[in-house]
Amino acid sequence: MKSIKAKEGEIFDIELEEDLLKRNEELAEKNKHLLDKNKVKAIDIMGSVGSGKTSLIKNLIVRLKKKRCLGVIAGDLTTTIDAERIKEEKVEVVQVNTGKECHLDANLIARALKEFDLRNLDILFIENVGNLICPAEFPLGSHKRIVVVSLTEGPWMVTKHPYIFREADLVVINKIDLARAMKVSVESITKDVHRIRPELKTICTNCLTGEGIEEIIKFLSL
């Protein structure tokens, strides 16, 4: 088969990109410092559009809101759909619209953090923009990073997005009730994850029944 591979730096200016990533990392460190100072634990939730990030956050909120003060940053290109859905749970939500940008970055998070009273917050969920590619390169200053993969995304989702799994602390395999309809098995998705990183923790969830949510809470000590 004939194939063309982009060389490093061929697609866009690599120096500019390195600068940008370095600046982002510095800002992410600052964010983490600010969160630590205020004893806030931040969880970055990454995954494609339709993987179930918002539903997962809502499930976590329902189980945590009685004992913890929660906040959410909802990243999205242009809409407020997810933020409105999360608001139904009566927690503080800050919408970040990135416009054409397909990921959140540490600068946007720094701006969003100013909208919260961090002293009164225990846990901050950050819903990243629906994309499994560049969020990997942009740490936000969160303490843990979750990747949500849903069985409805077909059998190659994990294998085609290896980089995001290298940055993750937990992989949530969602919509497990649809395995048969989709002809995709939890076992094969799990195998694909472990081919990339054998030690990476996976938890299966169904956000309609709440299956797996308590296991996430335990694993992340929320």
Q: Which residues bind Mg ion (CB under 5 A)?
A: 53-54, 82
20 binds Zn ion (CB under 5 A): no
134 binds Zn ion (CB under 5 A): yes
Nearer to Mg ion, 81 or 186 (CB): 81
- Choose the one of Mg ion, Zn ion, none that binds residue 102, judging by a C-beta under 5 to 8 angstroms depending on kind: Zn ion
Stretch that binds Zn ion, among 83-91, 130-138, 173-181, 205-213 (CB under 5 A): 130-138
Nearer to Zn ion, 51 or 59 (CB): 51
Residues 43-102 that bind Zn ion (CB under 5 A): 102
Coil vs helix vs strand at 95: strand
- Choose the one of Zn ion, Mg ion, none that binds residue 82, judging by a C-beta under 5 to 8 angstroms depending on kind: Mg ion
Nearer to Zn ion, 21 or 134 (CB): 134
Question: What are phi and psi for residue 35, nearest 5 degrees?
Answer: -65, -45
Amino acid at 193: V
Taking CB positions, which residue lies at the least distance from Mg ion? 54
- Residue 195 and residue 176: Cα distance in Å, rounded? 20
The neighbour count for residue 190, using CB atoms within 10 Å, is 17
- 18 by Cβ neighbours in 10 Å (0-12 / 13-18 / 19+) ranks as exposed
21 binds Zn ion (CB under 5 A): no
Stretch (H or E) spanning 204: strand 201-204
What does the per-residue mask of binding to Zn ion show for 174-193, with x meaning CB under 5 A?
Answer: --------------------
**Residue from 103, 145, 161, 175 in contact with Zn ion (CB under 5 A):** 103
Min separation Cβ 164 and Zn ion, Å: 12
The neighbour count for residue 130, using CB atoms within 10 Å, is 21
Per the CB < 8 A criterion, the answer to whether 182 and 189 are in contact is no
Per the CB < 8 A criterion, the answer to whether 98 and 116 are in contact is no
Positions touching Zn ion (CB under 5 A) are 102-103, 134
